[in-house]
Structure 1
Amino acid sequence: MTRKTALAAAVAAALTLGTATVAVTQSTALASSARPTPGFQALSADARAQALGAADREASATARALGLGGDEQLVVKDVLVDADGSRHVRYDRTYRGLPVIGGDLVVHRAADGRITGTDLAHRGAVTLSTVTPRLTAADASAHAVRSAKHVKDAKADAAEGRLVVYAVGKVPVLAYRSTVSGAGEDGAASREAVILDATGGAVLDQYELHQDVSGTGNGVHDGQVSLETTQSGSNYQLVDGLHGNTAIYDSNNSPQSNPGQNARLFSKSSSNSWGNGSTGNRESAAVDAAFGLAKTWDYYKSTFNRSGIRNDGRGAPAYVHVDNNLLNAFYDDNCFCMSFGDGSSQNNYTPVTSLDVAGHEMTHGVTAATAGLNYSGESGGLNEATSDILGTMVEFYSANANDPGDYYIGEKLNMSSGYFRRMDNPAVDGKSLGCWNSNAGSVDVHYSSGIGNHFFYLLSEGTGTKTIGGRSHNGTTCNNDTFAGIGKDKAAAVWYRALSAYMTSTTNYSGARTAVLKAAADLYGTNSQERYLASKAWAAVSVGTALPDPGNGTPTPTPSPTSSPTPGGNSLVNGGFEQGTTGWTQSAEDITNSTQQPAHGGSWYAWMMGYGSAATESLSQSGIAVPTAGTPKLTFWLKVTTQETGTTVYDTLKVNVNGTTLATYSNANAGTSYVQRTVDLSAYKGQTVKLEFAGQEDAYASTIFLVDDVAIG
């Protein structure tokens, strides 16, 4: 077998597309060696295998060091190595042999092997009273069919149902993960994951399995380009040997659930020239897919030292002409493959194979191989945003004259609006969120992705109007702030490092801010302008506040914290937690909008303790001005539920002010609803204080303390 490569001058002329060969080159700026990197070493296959082997051998000791239980095991997923030899080891977790959804974690080790930090999707040990379900697998499948909300006329796929531990909330639950199929929300066939409590059948989560971009195209979007192909005898095949043997198949309208059902590899003996630019030629869509996936691979390799989706040098197959009337493209981690539809009457049946779509879908694979962001809630929005962000960077990197780089998503896809999404102003489509709010976790992930997209645009380009790629952009903010960007290459380096080294499956937007600030500090320094402007960009989309400007040391809160002022100067920030973590410092991920527990008001609250094992937590806020007049009081709503019996105090929640305990609540205060609690602050009249809720749990049965609507007045 002779491999043809456009990079070898001797055979470049043999690799043509259409009627002429036009090599697409990178711009000087993007090809420069000065391009920012995420700081990771490029590992050979042998070096990566050795690093994975070392991490596997360390797994048991690591689990003990993290305080995990004897029924838990860590399974190494990936290892990234910094230039100084420090490592970022990503593990999945099992409990009594069952996979733990939300059990993933990252362990950060210095070059000498010392653990220097951890990022865990679920903190603490996983403990269950039993792994024997009350529901049968058949019951779970039937319930999943009845509960499906993303597909119509659902049918259970019994072969894909399995027992798992669902640890996305604070308290792990034995659950079934079932898969149902039916007609999707856009009409074509689709699949949905439904996660059910294995005890009573309550729906814990549900989401579509196709992580997709809906849209259309205009035939051959990329024009005349060079391709990498393979020659076998007298036959040429669309198999790219330089990019992990990525193979392009004609799906022959196979269903989305099995795109390879009727598929055949694109192969021909007449010539090595593919497609004619028309939608009537089945090779034309394959050309776009092959070129887009090769450019995506090159971008990850040259920018992040990443070799393919799973960083193992293996290419994923891609299927074009999938299903019928499919305005969709998607990556499916189950088959490690990508699928591209041909559009529908809404876009004159043009293929969904543009550059940013190819980059978007391959990036879903990278996300699955790194942070594994759950495809629901805020983490689902981050998953989609990551694909938009890095798919856009692929478009810039490719420097294709037929599709110049910009921050419009799917602008080549013949949408009635002229684009699918806009990163500079997401809300302009009337559906996407450009600013975070407390309902972000309840919005479709394709629309909540706008928050992350907006952040990335502002970090890259700053505020104000610009023309980029021939298109008008307007960097508006949610807080009327103005600032400069750090450039798209630096912004992408920060995002990729945050994704691959710090984010986990349950990361929300608040957690993404933390991860990004860690990554910016790693790459550019704790007091760098890059880190400061990252905090400004997050504040500009209503996620947290800006850090102090390192240039003059003067704090610049952007936006100003939302307060609940009352006569006398109360300045308690975000007492109802509806702005997430704004104003609060937490030792664990206490502030949440999880539907596993109720809020007292709104959808956010603080969920403290509930581990069923020895643990401590704290939730605090400093700089609170206690009123000078009257009899100042702290009020909050508290709900206590417990597995303890009797009135003996085992687990406690203390209210501390300036380090002094003013009130203690315990498992003995358990009840069925929220109760308003009041604490006298007369001794602190006119003072500025630190308020702390401090939880402590013993090693046995769990107690949950829910706190909401905190106020001082």
Structure 2
Amino acid sequence: MKPRTLLLAACIALPLHAPAAQLMSAPISVATPQESASLVAKLTALDARPGLSADYSFRISSQHPGVVGQKITRAQHTYKGLRVFGSESVVVTNARGDIVSVAASDRRPGLQPQATTPGGVAPPPSPAAPLPTPAELTPVLSADDAIRAAVQAIAPAGTHRWPPSAELLIYPLMKNVRSSAASNKPDDQLNALDLQEVVERYELAYLVQLRMAQDGKLVYYDVVVSARNGAIIAKWPALQTVTGIGHSQYNGQVPISTSATAGGFQMLDSARGSGGKFGAMAITNANHSSPNNPDPGSVYSNATNTWGDGLQYNGGSTTNANGQTAAVNALWGLMNTYDTNKNVLGWQSLDGNNTATYIAAHVGTAYDNAFYDDRCKCMYIGDGNSFTSLGAIDVIGHEMSHGVTAATADLIYAGESGGLNESNSDIGGEVVEAYARNGGTGNSVPAAGNDWMMGKEISKSGQPLRWMYKPSKDGRSPDAWSSALKNLDVHYSSGPNNRMFYFLAQGSSADPASDYHSPFLVRAPAAMSGIGSDKAYRIWFKALTTKFTSSTNYADARNKVLLAAQELYGTTSKEAIAVQRAYAAINVGADIDEADGGGEAVERIVNGGFENGATGWSGSTGVIGANPAQPPYEGARYAWLGGNGRRATETLRQQVAIPAAATSAQLSFALHIDTAETSNTVYDTLTVTVRNAGGGTVLATLATYTNLTPAGGYQIRSFDLLPFKGQNVTLSFAMREDRSKQTSFVLDKVSLLTK
């Protein structure tokens, strides 16, 4: 229960600045069982709702570095000891083990998630899917039965390249619920934020992972098999591919990092990565090993340290100068992929923990493919037939980025999340290409050097596999989100997010005839401004590693990328505005205005960080102050509404004027919520409203937060108040607590910027 002596004398206001981009920390040590148990206990306490006892818990699945001084942990949600598929929390902790932030996708039985769209209109209440009964959680089939059913459905004549696995879990079957505002919209007019995914029902199932080969092709599938009757509930491909002084084929003479041996040199780069199959980053000679079951072979060796002839492989020896060229392509690409992420972000190798990977060249004969295999955390490259050798720089950056995804968000390779998985790899490929083409040095992503076309160099026709700036040029990828996106192959559902990233980095065109134009950009200026590849990549990577979960879809991605931009550069920064516009350009969220003619933003809130005590605020100003029991978001002070553990009402208000000539009016604030409530019932609330100048009439309710929505650390909330331009209005934060068990709503950094 909080003390009631928070209001202190006014002090000198501290200058508040958006935090600068930080490097990721060095590789981390794996948490001890005691540390993992402590984090699980903290998460359980943070999310104390009914049933979160022995029935509900968390299972630590992976850990990787955060920014310096922080660690990122992924915790799967469990119910009665079984993992709930696609339900998890991404937890950022500091050096003391304190929780800094939590991003989650909560699909646990009985805990229907709330709408998460910042400033959006919540969908109508939807009852939680029924809890599975004990009988429904008792499998009828064994794991072996499930594997047999999956094999029969996918590749009955295939052979296993890797041993199959079957995990018993709870599988949520999802449906879309429309927001109230979109209840009568035609399907072809829906925006991604008009829909929210909710659980329709649960199935006890096995997740069967098949890594097979059949008829000369790799058949990698994840299959969800009913544990009750063996029915196939869902399936999706799991092979992540780009279908469709060394002398490099695509890059001229390039420096490559090799190691000396007793007999000469080998393609083993001990300066990048450690451990793994070969002890360091390596290029091996698969020597036409069958794609059915490719053998990486041994590390490339040579009597001298000059490699390759720079020409397309002619089908002869894989070890002479011509055969070495594919290996040169691979090593140069792998070196630049490693260096891009390490030098720009501080991220080491694929997993952030500097675990070495390798690439096997010359897979198959005239094999038109390159693929990443997460079982070996490695890449295989074919020599091409319809294509030339598939070791171009953007292709390698693409495939290695699948390894980063697998180590972090592990986006499910189906539906919208699968499209985002592929898009992350296309983004990685273009960023690595830009970095490599500009010398492969420096701590930022160059503004130019890549072509924004995936796989153009390997194409014999000159037509790329994908166009980032205009995905529909391939005849199959859409330029914008639609409700049908989840039904496409992931190589095509990636298209809209690829376009979003291009617009975020490079901006758009106002010319409707241009390939760089979006009809969804309807605010000013018609041509949105880009923020450059460096900032765009930092924002995207932060969202991927600290906020995305395996089931993140386009709407969730937009919200989390926006939050990453706000955390890196400021709530109403040009970078945050660009994120909103870039997603609006692909029909995900509404468009907003940029700075009016380049004019500066004007802050309309007085003392939004509460550093000057009650100045500017009216109502329950005794909640303003500082106390070690609650940390501030910035500075030294905040407003602690609630936390009483008894019946209480507390309100903070401030009257503001929004100019009639305003072209933008963005309200934002940082909010932290913690609670001692243990019921799945709303008892304590914080309601944010816009009222008339006198404060009596409610003009709009922006949001209501409750004891059911606690969060580790502060969350940035933002709203568009442009509809109130030309008015004097009152912003109101009103808290109500019931008779017992506290809920704290800690408010900081309130801002209303107009342009």
Question: 1:527 aligned to 2:527?
Answer: no
Pairing 1:533-552 to 2, within 5 Å after superposition: 533-547=578-592, 549=594
Higher RCO, Cα 8 Å, sep 6+: 2
Structure 2 distance, partners of 1:54, 1:487, is 43
Q: 1:188 to 1:91 in 2, by over 3 A?
A: same
- Which secondary structure does the structure 2 equivalent of 1:236 belong to? strand
Retained in 1: the 8 A contact 2:478–2:492? yes
Other-structure match for 1:461: 506
Partner amino acid for 1:159? P
Distance change in 2, residues 1:59/1:552 (3 Å): closer
2:309–2:325 Cα contact (<8 Å) kept:
yes
Contact 1:100 1:166 in 2 (8 A): yes
Is contact 1:78-1:91 (8 Å) kept? no
Which of 547, 556, 560 lines up with 1:511 in the alignment?
Answer: 556
**3-state SS, counterpart of residue 174 of structure 1:** strand
Counterparts in 2 of 1:53-92, with a 5 A limit? 56-65=36-45, 66-67=47-48, 68-70=52-54, 72-82=57-67, 85=69, 88-92=72-76
Q: Retained in 2: the 8 A contact 1:319–1:339?
A: yes
Matched, 1:141 2:150: no
Do 1:188 and 1:324's aligned partners in 2 also have CA atoms closer than 8 Å?
no
SS at match of 1:74: strand
Shift of 1:220: 1.6
Deviations 1:623-662 (A, max 9, x none): 9xxxxxxxxxxxxxxxxxxxxxxxxxxxxxxxxx999xxx
Match of 1:248 in 2: 283
477-486 or 487-496: which moved more?
Answer: 477-486
**2:86 aligned residue:** 102
Deviations for 1:361-409, whole angstroms, at most 9, x for unmatched residues? Answer: 1100001111110100000000000000111000000126999412011
What is the distance in 2 between the residues matched to 1:116 and 1:313? 24
Cα distance in structure 1, aligned partners of 2:105 and 2:557? 12
Does residue 282 of the first structure (1) align with residue 328 of the second (2)?
no
User: Structure 1 residue 163: deviation in Å?
Assistant: 2.5
String of CA shifts for 1:641-695, please: whole Å, max 9, x gaps.
Answer: xxxxxxxxxxxxxxxx999xxxxxxxxxxxxxxxxxxxxxxxxxxxxxxxxxxxx
Counterpart CA distance in 2 for 1:251 and 1:548 is 54
Give, in angstroms, the shift of residue 411 of structure 1: 1.0
d(CA) in 2 for partners of 1:534 and 1:184?
44
Partner of 2:252: 223
Letter in 2 for 1:539: A
The 8 Å contact of residues 37 and 493 in structure 1, kept in 2 or not, is answered as no
Identity of aligned residues (%): 33
Does 1:267 find its partner at 2:301?
yes
Shift of 1:305: 0.6
Residue identity in the other structure for 2:309: N
Structure 2: which amino acid aligns with 1:265?
A: V
Question: Whole-Å Cα distance in 2 between the matches of residues 233 and 288 of structure 1?
Answer: 25
Measured in 2, the distance between the counterparts of 1:541 and 1:414 equals 28
Structure 2 CA distance, aligned partners of 1:274 and 1:505? 41
Shift of 1:136: 3.2
TM-score (norm 2): 0.62
Which amino acid letter does the alignment assign opposite residue 61 of structure 1? A
Pair 144,42 (structure 1): closer, same or farther in 2 beyond 3 Å: closer
Compared CA separation, residues 64 and 399, structure 1 to 2 (3 A): same
Is residue 510–residue 527 contact of structure 2 (8 Å, CA) maintained in 1?
no
Distance apart, 1:162 and its partner CA: 1.0
Supply the distance in 2 between the matched residues of 1:54 and 1:81 (Cα, whole angstroms). Answer: 21
**Residue from 335, 341, 344 that aligns with 1:294:** 335
Cα distance in structure 2, aligned partners of 1:311 and 1:133: 38
Distance 1:358 1:124, change over 3 A: same
Distance in 1, Cα, partners of 2:426 & 2:32: 30
CA deviation profile, 1:36-68 (whole Å, cap 9, x unmatched): 9984444334xx227778852523313422344
Q: Is the CA contact 2:160–2:212 (under 8 Å) kept in the aligned structure 1?
A: no
1:165-564 → structure 2 map (5 Å cutoff): 165-167=169-171, 169=173, 170=199, 171-180=201-210, 188-215=217-244, 220-244=249-273, 245-256=280-291, 258-260=293-295, 263-268=297-302, 270-278=303-311, 279-280=313-314, 281-344=322-385, 346-347=386-387, 350-399=388-437, 404-464=449-509, 474-480=515-521, 481-547=526-592, 549=594
Partner amino acid, structure 2, of 1:56: S
Preserved CA contact (<8 Å) 1:40 1:80: no
Q: Which amino acid letter does the alignment assign opposite residue 167 of structure 2?
A: L
Q: Is the contact between residue 248 and residue 309 of structure 2 (CA under 8 Å) also seen in structure 1?
A: no
Is the 2:65–2:352 contact (alpha carbons within 8 Å) kept by the matching residues of 1? Answer: no
1:595 counterpart residue number: none
Q: What is the match of residue 104 of structure 2?
A: 120
The answer to whether the 8 Å contact 1:52/1:79 transfers is: no
Moved more, 407-416 or 498-507: 407-416
Q: What is the letter of the counterpart of residue 175 of structure 1? A: A
CA distance in 2 between counterparts of 1:78 and 1:213 reads: 28
Contact persistence 1:152–1:182 (CA under 8 A): no
Structure 2 unaligned segments of length 5 or more: list them: 1-17, 111-130, 174-198, 274-279, 315-321, 441-447, 604-678, 690-699, 703-755
Seen in structure 2, the aligned counterparts of structure 1 residues 494 and 392 have a Cα distance that, compared at 3 Å, is same
Structure 1 counterpart of 2:29, from 49, 64, 72: 49
Does the Cα contact within 8 Å between 1:255 and 1:323 map onto a contact in 2? yes
Q: 5+ unaligned residues in a row in structure 1: which ranges?
A: 1-35, 467-471, 555-612, 624-656, 660-713
Displacement of 1:335 after TM fit? 1.3
Could you give the per-residue CA deviations for residues 429-467 of structure 1, whole angstroms, max 9, x where no partner exists? 10111110001111000001001100000111111299x
The residue type equivalent to 2:372 in the other structure is Y
Whether the 8 Å contact between 1:59 and 1:73 is mirrored in structure 2 is: no
Matches of 1:376 and 1:38 in 2, distance apart?
A: 35
For 1:309, the aligned partner's letter is L
- Whether the aligned pair in 2 keeps the contact of 1:331 and 1:362 (CA below 8 Å) is yes
- Counterpart Cα distance in 1 of 2:250 and 2:164: 37
Q: Distance in 1 between matches of 2:217 and 2:248?
A: 21
Inter-CA distance 400–313: structure 2 relative to 1 (3 Å threshold): same
1:341 CA drift (Å): 1.2
Normalised by the size of structure 1, how large is the TM-score?
0.65
Alpha-carbon distance, 1:227 to partner: 0.8
Distance (whole Å) between structure 1 residues aligned to residue 452 and residue 79 of structure 2: 43
* Structure 1 pair 506–69 and aligned structure 2 pair: CA distance change class (3 A): farther
Cα distance change on mapping 1:518 and 1:111 into 2, 3 Å: farther
Deviation at 1:486, TM superposition (A): 0.9
Change (3 A) 1:42 1:500: closer
